[in-house]
Structure formats: structure tokens, C-alpha cells
Amino acid sequence: MPAPTRKVLGRLSLPERTFVADALRTETVGGVLLLVAAVTALIWANVPALHDSYESVSHFHLGPAPLGLDLSIEHWAADGLLAVFFFVAGIELKRELVAGDLKDPKAAALPVVAALCGMAVPALVYALTNLTGGGSLSGWAVPTATDIAFALAVLAVIGTWLPNALRAFLLTLAVVDDLCAILIIAVFFTADIDFAALGGAAAGLVVFWALLRKGVRGWYVYVPLALVIWALTYNSGIHATVAGVAMGLMLRCTRREDEEHSPGEHIEHLVRPLSAGLAVPLFALFSAGVSVSGGTLGDVFTRPETLGVVLGLVLGKTLGIFGGTWLTARFTRASLSDDLEWADVFAVATLAGIGFTVSLLIGELAFDGDATLTDEVKAAVLLGSLTAAVLATVLLKLRNSKYRRLYEAEERDEDLDGIPDIYEEDDPAYHLRMAAIHERKAAEHRRIAERQTAERLAEVTGGAGEEDDRRA
């Protein structure tokens, strides 16, 4: 007997749908703030009267120098605030691995393979562009990242009714993407290592883990400890955002019988607004402020480094994610959900070409020491992300009427119990509730029909009597 065909990108389970909806709601608000911050940075850096103040604020140093933390505002945003972003990413990944879609190897295969292909192909596109053009291969990792907040902001702005399954697919892609990005940063952008500081950071992580295991509670314990771990990681030579991911992965994300939410879910719920609403927008404010002119944009298409970034984000991401998804479905006896078509997957893959936050960070690390090329690569990231957003907008808008029907079907709740009807079709109690609702409606319609029939009979009877009187 042949094995049953498994559907991919089908309807989410109810708990997963609830979690995804809550996460996406926060990320969407954060994405809008991210857009505002990016536009503000571009205006601040490009208006002649304001340019000097942008440079002054970005390069203003503060922090305790004896601890090796006398950093510029721009540096604090990249190494400090983004550690909060990666802390949330670590919790997301842990939850996906132990309680979400990545827990099931069969379900995990699709987003993991798609994410890995969506990183490998852009890197390959960048490498080929620079090998043929004689450019530097240092920026191969720049176009490998997807910015979920920016992508969701685009969805919010264009008003698409993208089904929850595709939104969850995009979110899971970004989670795997973030983990791979932090591994790339840790492995490829670490030069000199201070083993004493690294040992201290490792010891701090052990203490952090032990406190969690013992059930110790209180932000006044964990926040100071987290700051110490972050500072030691920074001074070790490893990018400090690695500390955020490590601590996020240590949190327990499974619920016990007496818990409504696991500690990881609870802390993520508290910290995610800080990450999406403050940390990432401030990073964008001090990283996206590059000088943009006709000459700068023209140079993007003439320098192999910047052209590789644009092509990697726009073409590499799209082909990588779409190809990885198709190959997974092809070789795992899986088929696409009946509600979707491959054109939908292609559109979402195009949307994943929005690299922004992590791409800007990797661009700074890849070309550290070359301020001119760093700014040009940042301009390429902005242009590539904008191009991907425009293409995705066109593709998604073409399918928006179908998406709206799917979305409305997923959200319909005729029995008003707070659970979409589509999740209760196998529950006898649901059908009994619906039968009672329809019986009440039927009884009401019968009363209306009887009343209208009686009124018409009265009109006919009354009209006949008046006609008889006139004849007499």
C-alpha cells in the first residue's frame, strides 16, 4: 500500500496559529517602526543641514573604558541592542524545536531546507558575481539574511490577506535564518579571541543555566548576570549578539501541568516588544543612514560587491527558497496544500529577499575598515530589499482576492465561541451548537414568513370588500 501523500503549507494547529498570530502582531508593529526609523535615518543623513549632526550622534562615544566598553552610539546599537533581538530569536528557535513545527522532523524538513537553500544560493550568486567581476568575496554572507519585521511591515502596508500557513512559513524561515546568521557571525567574523574573557562568559552562561534549572525567579538576578555575560562575550572577540542567542536557547519552552505558559514563552512575550519596538528600530536608525545620490545608486550596479548583494537578495533568495521548497515536496512524497499554488510560494520567497537588519550588520562586519565600501554595501542592501519588496507586492496583490477568501474561511466563527469553525468540524458539540443556532434562525424566519403572509391576506381581504362596496 503506497504511503499517504503529506500536505505541506496546510492549515496550522490551533495552538500554533494562536502563537503565530501573537508573534506576527508584535513583529508587524515593530516592522512599521523599523520602516519609520530607516526613512528617518536616510533623511537625517542626506539633508545637508542635518548630516553633520547624524555623524556626530552616531560616533559619540560613551561607556566605561576600563571595561573595554567605551563604544560609539552606532556600536552600542549593533552589538548591544541587537543582542536583545537575537535573544528573542534564540527563544523562538528553542520553542520551535521543542513545541513548534520544528519538533516533527517531517514538518521541520520544509522550512529548514528552504531556509538553508535561501542562504546558500544568495551566497553563491554573490560569489559568482564577484569572481567574474574581480570583486571581494568578503561580503558573501551579506545577502543571506531575511528580515521578518521588515517583511511583515510590507504585508501590513500593502494590506494583503496572506494565509496564516504562509505567514508561519515565513516566520519559521526567519527563525532558522537568524540562527544560521549568528553562526556565520560567530565563525567567520571572529578574529582574535581573548580566552580569559571567553572563559568568563562561558562560566556566566553556566550560572545562568543553573539558576534556570533551580527555578530561581526575578529580573534583578538575570538582567545583571546577562549584562556581565554580554560584556565578557564582547571583550572575548566574539560578536556580542552570540550571547543573546545562547541565553535564549537555555530557557525552558515546554509547559508543565500547572503552567499556562512556559518560562520561555512568558519572557518572550515580555521582551519581544522591546526587541521589535526599540532595539531593532534604533539599530536601523544608526545603521541605515547612508548618503544616497544618483552616483551612489549608479555605483551599486557597477561594483561587483554591491551588485552581488542586490542580485543575491532579489534573485538568490527567491530561487533558493522556492527551489528548496519544491525539492523538499518533490523528494519527500509531499504535495502542496490544496488551497495554495506554487505561485504563492514564489511570491513569499520573493518577500524573503528583504534582508535589511542582519544584512546591514554583516555588511558592517564584512567590510570593517573600509568606510566607503561599507556605505555602498549598505546602500545595496537598502536597494535590494526595496526591490524585493516591490516585486513581492506586485505578486501578492495579484493573488490577494483568493487570499482574502482563505483568510475569511480561517477566521469564521459562527458559533461565537472564540475558536474558528474550521478547527471544530470534527467536534459533535460544535455541530449541535450550530444546529441550535440554525433552528433559532429557522424559527425566526418562519415567524417572519407567517406574519408577512397574514398581512398580505388581510390586504387582499380588505381590498376585496372595498371593491364590492363600490359596485353596489
Q: What is the pLDDT of residues 143-182, one digit of tens each?
A: 998 888 788 788 877 767 788 778 888 888 888 888 888 8
Mean pLDDT of 265-278: 89
Q: Is the pLDDT of residue 2 over 70?
A: no
Average pLDDT over residues 4-23: 67
Return the pLDDT at 463. Answer: 61
Confidence of residue 472 (pLDDT cuts 50, 70, 90): very low
3-state secondary structure 380-448: HHHHHHHHHHHHHHHHHHHCHHHHHHHHHHHHCCCCCCCCCHHHCCCCHHHHHHHHHHHHHHHHHHHHH
- Identity of the amino acid at 408: E
Distance (Å, rounded) from C-alpha 309 to C-alpha 367?
13
Q: Does residue 104 have a pLDDT over 90? A: no
Separation CA 28–CA 49 (nearest Å): 33
* CB-CB contact of 373 with 305 (8 Å): yes
More confident residue, 274 or 290: 274
User: What pLDDT score was predicted for residue 165?
Assistant: 79
| Mean pLDDT on 15-41 | 79
The more confidently predicted of residues 1 and 118 is 118
Beta bridge partners of 71: 62
Q: How confident is the model at residue 111 (pLDDT cuts 50, 70, 90)?
A: confident
For the ranges 96-100, 159-163, 412-416, the lowest mean pLDDT is seen at: 159-163
C-beta separation of 275 from 87 below 8 A: yes
Look at 3-7, 44-48, 165-169 and tell me which has the smallest mean pLDDT. Answer: 3-7
Give the whole-angstrom CA distance, residue 37 versus residue 328.
37
What are 289-339's pLDDT values in tens digits?
Answer: 888 777 777 788 889 999 999 999 999 999 999 999 999 888 877 677 777
What is the Cα–Cα distance from 312 to 186, expressed in whole angstroms?
22
Average pLDDT, the chain: 86
Q: Are 169 and 146 in contact (CB under 8 A)?
A: no
State pLDDT tens for residues 186-197.
888 877 889 999
165: left (phi over 0), alpha (psi -120 to 50) or beta: alpha
In terms of pTM, does the model score above 0.85?
no
Judged by DSSP in three states, 209 sits in helix
Continuous segment of H or E residues that includes residue 366:
helix 356-366
φ/ψ of 424, rounded to 5, equals -120, 15
Mean pLDDT within 81-99: 87
What is the predicted pLDDT for the residue at 1? 43
What lies within 8 Å, CB to CB, of 163 at 6+ separation is 339, 340, 403, 406, 407, 410
Residue 469's pLDDT is: 52
